[in-house]
Amino acid sequence: MATQNVLMPQMGESIQEGTLTRWHKKVGDKVQREEILFEISTDKVDTEIPSPASGVLVQILAKENDVVSVNSVVAVIDDAAQPGTIAQAAAPAAAKVSAPAASAPAAQPALDNAKVLASPLARKVAEEHSVDLSKLQGSGEGNKIVKNDVLAALETGKSVSPLVAAAAAAATAPVSKASADHVKSTGGSSEGVIDGVRVSRVPMTGMRKKIADHMVMSKRTSPHVTSVIEIDLQKIVDVRAKFKDKFEAINGFKLTFMPFFLQAVVEAIKAVPVVNSSVDGDAILYKKDINLGCAVALDWGLIVPVIKNSSERSFVGLGRELNNLAEKARNKKLAPDDVRGGTFSISNYGGFGTVIGQPIINQPQVAIFGIGAMQKKPVVINDAIAIRTMCYCVLSFDHRVIDGSDSGKFLSTVKNVLENWNIPVI
Amino acid sequence: MSTNYDLIVIGSGPAGYEGAIYASQLGMKVALVEKEQWLGGTCLNVGCIPAKSMLQSALMYEKAKKFASYGVKIAGADNPELDFPQVNKRRDEIVKTMTNGVGFLMKKNKVDVIRGFGSIVAKGQVEVNADGKKTNYTCKNILIATGSRARHLPHIKVDGKNIVTSEEIWAFDKVPETMAVLGGGVIGCEFASAYGRYGTKVTILEMAEQICPTEDHETAAELTKALKKQNCEVLTSTKTKSIVAKGNKVEVQIEGENSVRTFDKVLLSVGRSPNVENIGLEKVGIKLDERGFIPVDLKTYQTNIAGIYAVGDVLSTPQLAHTGSAEALYAVDIIAGKKRHPINYLTNPAAIYTYPEIASIGHTENQLKKSGRAYKAAKFPFSAVAKARIDDIAEGFVKILVDPKYGEVLGVHIVNTKASEMISEFALGNNLEMTIEELAHTIHPHPTVSEIIKEAAHAAMGHPINM
């Protein structure tokens, strides 16, 4: 009998864990290679994971809603087992596979707490609530961090994001004041009154928690500066109006404004390569590939699929890949590769009418481009007032490696490409 | 002898003498004041040490009866005879050796021993009254370690002959036929267990619902069962109306009973009172708490007066010799300017040296229930441990109470002849904030009695191995 471990896939270079949201099979079920086995949710992607092998699912090691580290074993498939006979035999099977499960870097939390002097109990509490032990002062013998230090940190919110801290504190306190006195709990949510205000308390989803953590981490890591430029999009509007029907007839998908921006950003990155880098200790890691992450808003959150090798694609190629990825994202069909390897990100908040935004950098990248709403405005051209479609675009950048002059050069390149559009669209 | 010290310790019990030694080792000039002729306090002279010697004699007496079962034939072993004067002699010799040892340690560590009744006259001033001769000593710091004494009750006249406390019981020159033990706490149960096995018909009268009221209910139930096999009648939820010496007997009237019971001896063991009288607390403005103990800051053991510290039985913390010692070493560290992590009393073990022994640490199951805290309880019997069978100590169990979320060990209760030795592993573990996994994954030698700890830990994790 040959067994194969099913691993939690790596969903992106900065992603260490994900929430296993749903099993499509149960122990004892037959499963085909590439058949959808389970679904996961990370801060960047909700996706269905296909089975790596055919056989019978003999063991499930992670329950639904468990947060699982990447590369840890979540299930075992046996190619020789008989379907339906496994349920009772699950225990011995578990014993046999426990060794690889334990040796995989499964139980490692995303935080590197290993080198900190802390009691085993303090570590457990810290692990559950994502507390960074290196940020705490130990009150135990020899300044060892003890359980109470971690609980105190959770209470004060030190070393964890405020959002995580609030959730964690509520989860830790056996009887919190509010829930004991005023809040009626129903399942994971609760209703009640806190400080005279009627409230509904709803636990964050796994995806929400991860977004919160990632955003706080980014703000803590990079000193953000945001520059704004105003761009005249009239030429783009005209080009699009002229070619959109023909474009759709030839290519099979709609011509939106996004490929124009993608193309302009690629040109700007080529002009200012430092925006396509990351910080590596005391060095700057310049990325030779331009992989544009493009945030897509979903009903249940936000994901950032990545257009690989953007600089090598044609205008149509950029548009087609973006269209494919957005479609996959909405249908939860994104593969791990689709969200991996981004080197620069674009956020299009303008679709909801927002004029100017200050997007947060998607770590470990060093800059993010934001597109505001397109609006018709009276503008002065050659000393005359004209009505043009205008838009504010921004660049949030990591001031550790990018200066205002770089940002200015980047934004003006984007402006120049868009205002003087001369790239064929068909 | 100088009259000026860095530290004067009043009281030479385990807290006092160990504190004095440590302070001297840290470079302080130290004096130890003791009112009695002996050193070592209650523990060494009229408490723990002689009591355990009496209990060991009882154990050997019991074992002697079982020699044949081990395959050891000794003439007359079926009916061994108890030589009670020798029991007392051996006990006194042990006490003498140990108290001499304390005297030696004082010399070795250059601690001045001052005989007489010490009292605080003012901040930094101690007066020692030795048979009416008063001498004043000055010092930078004072450590009060005056300990406690057996508690008396107003309606019971202790005559030291037939009605005794744990301080007079040592004078018994023969084993009484009958004895009432008023108070089923630690001291009462230990004497009941010893004398019951010597052959005395013992009656324990306890007011609470269980003997050893601070212990886990299952522990108390197991001990009750064991004591009954040792000639002891155990009456709980029981009050006495009167205890009166009549000639060579003592008449005891129990509430709710019509008849009066007659005993040869009555042991009054209803707790201990702190020795806080006449030591000058009022002169410096130290007020006692509502229960009569000296209030201190548990992060320094300093009283409300700077430079005056108190440790041991005069505090409301557990009245145990090892607790007092730990507090004294802590206070001395503070006096020496060292930083210390406060003592966590939940990692403070307690032991009762009955047969079988009881040892515990942390919370009892009822305390956890009452507090509403979630817990998992696991119990593993010594009867499943080979070495316990070999050693003929297969009675009792290890009970572990665990936090189900993080595996924190919330309480441990051991009933077994080796309980007092085994509890230290939990004291260390809890002090290091171990979880149940570390305990279960610690390799224990086999065969040993203590490997039950690993077994109980596995049981607490839901998968007992050898059961």
Least confident of A167-171, B54-58, B129-133, B454-458: A167-171
Domains B4-150+273-336 and B163-270 share a fold: yes
CB contact (8 A) between residue A120 and residue B341: no
Name the residue among B341, B407, B434 with its Cβ closest to that of A141: B341
Cis peptide before B176 (omega within 30 of 0): no
> CB–CB of A120 and B372 under 8 A?
no
Residue carrying the six token digits 């086999």? B446
| Residue of B336, B337, B340, B343 lying closest to B30 (CA atoms) | B336
Q: What is the ipTM of this complex?
A: 0.75
Which residues, at least 6 apart from B235, have a Cβ–Cβ distance to it below 8 Å?
Answer: B203, B204, B205, B206, B254
Residue of A nearest to B344 (CA): A140
DSSP-derived secondary structure for B379-410: EEEGGG-HHHHHTT----EEEEEE-TTT-BEE
Mean pLDDT (chain A) is 80
Can you give the pLDDT at residue A82? 66
Cα distance between residue B335 and residue B309, in whole Å: 9
* Contact at CB, B372 and A121, closer than 8 angstroms: no
Q: How is residue B239 written in tokens?
A: 């009050």
Determine if residue B118 is labeled as part of a ligand binding site: yes
Question: A106 is written with which tokens?
Answer: 């499964």
What mean pLDDT is predicted for residues B295-315? 97
Which residue does chain B place closest to A119, by CA atoms? B433
Mark yes or no for CB contact B407/A124 under 8 Å: yes
Measure the CA–CA gap between B377 and B343, rounded to whole angstroms: 26
Where do the H-state alpha helices sit in B6-164?
14-25, 41-46, 48-65, 67-70, 84-108
Is the pLDDT confidence value at A228 over 80? yes
Least confident residue range of A134-148, A178-192, B133-147, B368-382:
A178-192
φ/ψ (deg, to 5) at B167: -90, -20
Interchain pair B434, A121: CB under 8 A: yes
List the beta bridge partners of residue A41: A19, A46
Chain B closest CA to A107's CA: distance in Å? Answer: 14
* pLDDT band at residue A93 using 50, 70 and 90 as cut-offs: very low
Q: What's the pLDDT score for residue A379? A: 94
* pLDDT tens digits, one per residue of B93-112: 999 999 999 999 999 999 99
CATH of B163-270, one of 3.50.50.60, 3.30.70.930, 3.10.110.10, 3.30.565.10: 3.50.50.60
Whether residue B3 is predicted with pLDDT greater than 90 in this model: the reply is no
Instruction: Parse chain B into domains and list their residue ranges.
Output: 4-150+273-336, 163-270, 346-461
Residues B179, B265 contacting (CB under 8 angstroms): yes
| Average of per-residue pLDDT across B341-359 | 95
Count of residues making up chain B: 467
Q: Can you give the C-alpha Rg of chain B in angstroms?
A: 23
pLDDT tops 60 at residue A345: yes
**Pairing status of strand B272-274 against strand A3-7:** unpaired
Helices (H), B229-308: 281-284
Least CB–CB distance from B341: residue in A125, A128, A139:
A139
Residues of B in contact with A125 (CB under 8 A): 406
Question: Which of B269, B100, B298 has its CA nearest to residue B190?
Answer: B269
Nearest-CA distance A172 → chain B (Å)? 10
Q: Which residues of A touch B374 (CB under 8 A)?
A: 174
Going from the N-terminus, what domains does chain A have, and what CATH number goes with each? 3-98 (2.40.50.100), 120-206 (no CATH), 223-419 (3.30.559.10)
Residues of A with CB under 8 A from a CB of B: 119-122, 124-125, 128, 139-141, 146-147, 174-175
Return d(Cα B345, Cα B35) in angstroms, integer.
30
DSSP symbol at A266: H
Query: CB under 8 Å, gap of 24 or more: what pairs does B79-87 form?
Result: B82/B57, B82/B175, B82/B198, B82/B199, B84/B173, B84/B174, B84/B175, B84/B198, B85/B173, B87/B54, B87/B57, B87/B198
What average pLDDT does range A174-188 have in this prediction?
A: 39
Residue B313 annotated as lining a ligand binding site: yes
Active site residue B446: yes
**Which CA distances in Å does A190 have to A157, A266, A383?**
22, 48, 61
Tokens (6 digits) for A28: 């004892």
Lowest mean pLDDT among A205-219, B115-129, B144-158, B265-279: A205-219
Q: Largest Cα–Cα distance of chain B, in whole Å?
A: 68
Pairing of strands A3-7, B125-130: unpaired
CA separation, residue A344 to residues A277, A394, B6, B67 (Å):
8, 14, 69, 85
Burial of A334 (0-12, 13-18, 19+ CB in 10 A): buried
Report how far residue A327's alpha carbon sits from residue A315's, in angstroms, rounded to the nearest whole number.
Answer: 19
pLDDT of residue A15: 61
Total residue length of chain A? 426
Q: Give residue A188's pLDDT band: very low, low, confident or very high (50, 70, 90).
A: low
Instruction: Find out whether A345 and A369 touch, Cβ atoms under 8 Å.
Output: yes
pLDDT level of residue A107 (50, 70, 90 thresholds): very low
Q: What is the dihedral of CA B136, B141, B147, B151, to 10 degrees?
A: 80
Cα-Cα end-to-end distance for chain A: 56
Under an 8 A CB cutoff, do A122 and B433 touch? yes
Average pLDDT over residues A207-222: 85
Cis check: omega of the bond before B447, within 30 degrees of 0: yes
**Structurally, what CATH architecture does the domain formed by B4-150+273-336 represent?**
3-Layer(bba) Sandwich (3.50)
Question: Cβ contacts (< 8 Å) between B373 and chain A: which residues?
Answer: 174
Q: Output the pLDDT for position A209.
A: 78
For an interface test with A, the pick among B344, B406, B426 (most A C-beta atoms closer than 10 Å) comes out as: B406
Q: Flag whether B186 is marked binding.
A: yes
- Judged against a pLDDT cut of 50, whether residue B2 lies above it is answered with yes
- By percentage, how much of chain B surpasses pLDDT 90? 92
- Mean pLDDT, to the nearest integer, of B399-421? 96
Q: Give Cβ neighbours of residue B163 (< 8 Å, ≥ 6 apart).
A: B156, B157, B243, B245, B250, B265, B266, B268
Partner-chain residue, chosen from B341, B372, B433, that has the shortest CB–CB distance to A121: B433
* CATH number, span B346-461: 3.30.390.30
Lowest mean pLDDT among A277-291, B68-82, B100-114, B255-269: B68-82
pLDDT confidence of A412, banded at 50, 70, 90?
Answer: very high
C-alpha closest to that of A214 among A42, A99, A73: A42
**Angle value at C-alpha A105, between A100 and A111, nearest 5 degrees:** 160
Q: Sheet of B376-381: strands edge to edge?
A: B350-352, B358-362, B409-415, B397-402, B376-381
Partners of A119 on chain B (C-beta within 8 Å) are 432-434
- How many Å separate Cα B227 from the centre of its chain? 19
Please determine, for residue A101, whether its predicted confidence score (pLDDT) is greater than 70: no
**CA B422 from centre of chain:** 16
CB contact under 8 A, A125 and B438: no
Chain B positions in Cβ-Cβ contact with residue A128 (cut-off 8 Å)? 406
* Residue B146 marked in a binding site: yes
In chain B, what residues touch A141 (CB-CB under 8 Å)? 341
Residue B257 annotated in ligand binding: no
Is B292 known to sit in a ligand binding site?
A: no
Mean pLDDT of A4-29: 78
Task: Tell me how far apart the alpha carbons of residues A336 and A345 are, in angstroms, rounded to a whole number.
Answer: 17
Interchain pair B433, A119: CB under 8 A:
yes
Residue at A275: amino acid letter: V
- SS3 string, A142-202, reads HHCECHHHHHHHHHHCCCCCHHHHHHHHHHHCCCCHHHHHCCEEECCEEEEEECCEEEEEC
Distance from CA of B305 to the nearest CA of A (A): 26
Q: Between chains, do A174 and B373 touch, taking CB under 8 Å as contact? A: yes
CA distance B304 to chain A (A): 24
Active site residues of A: 399, 403
In contact, A49 and A62? CB cutoff 8 Å: no
Nearest to B416 by CA among B450, B386, B441: B450
Closest residue to A119, CB basis, from B407, B432, B437? B432
What amino acid occupies position B352? Answer: I
Quote the CA–CA distance of B303 and B314 in Å, as a whole number: 12
Question: What residues of chain A lie within 8 A of the CB of B435, using their CB?
Answer: 120-121, 124
**Which tokens in the block code for residue B104?**
């030696």
Q: Which residue of A has its CA nearest to B408?
A: A121
A174 and B406: CB-CB below 8 Å? Answer: no
Rounded mean pLDDT, B123-149: 97
CA distance A84 to chain B (A): 26
Please tell me the pTM assigned to this model.
0.61
Name the closest residue on chain B to residue A122, using Cα atoms: B433
B285 a known binding residue? no
Give residue-wise pLDDT tens across range B214-264. 999 999 999 999 999 999 999 999 999 999 999 999 999 999 888 899 999
Encoding tokens for residue A249?
């007839």
Write out chain B residues lying below 8 Å of A139, CB-based.
341
Residue to substitute from A117, A119, A131, A175, interface B, most B β-carbons within 10 A: A119
Q: B384 near B226, Cβ under 8 Å? A: no
Q: Is the separation of the CB atoms in B250 and B162 below 8 Å?
A: yes
Sheet architecture: strand order including B178-182: B163-164, B265-268, B178-182, B201-205, B232-235
The tokens describing A316, both together, are: 């149509």
Q: Structure tokens of B20?
A: 């004095």
Q: How far apart are CA B49 and CA B52, in angstroms?
A: 5
Across B287-311, average pLDDT: 96
**How far apart are the C-alpha atoms of B162 and B102, rounded to whole Å?**
32
Quote the CA–CA distance of A63 and A76 in Å, as a whole number.
13
